[in-house]
Structure 1
Amino acid sequence: KISNFRFADDTTLIDAFQEELVALLNVLEQHSAAYGLGINYNRT
């Protein structure tokens, strides 16, 4: 759960399970998009 998200220049997501890490990434993308932000996968 992401409880506080303002601006992230560099972000690290950590989870023991790949499926949950993908879910976290999806949540991050959704919340970022709501504020006009995105993830640059070319630089990730």
Structure 2
Amino acid sequence: MNMLLKGALELKLGDNIEYLEKQAKVALKALEKFSEDHLLP
């Protein structure tokens, strides 16, 4: 039972990290577009 719970927790953590990476990429893309549109140095 403990191993099952630990495995599920690790899987959940991995999913969260993947989600955060996707969100970071989206944020960086938006920032990149903003800087291009506003010609920031």
Q: TM-score, normalised by structure 1?
A: 0.44
Structure possessing the higher radius of gyration over alpha carbons: 2
Q: TM-score, normalised by structure 2?
A: 0.47
Q: Which fold has the larger relative contact order, with Cα–Cα distance below 8 Å and residues 6 or more apart in sequence?
A: 1
Which is helix-richer, 1 or 2? 2
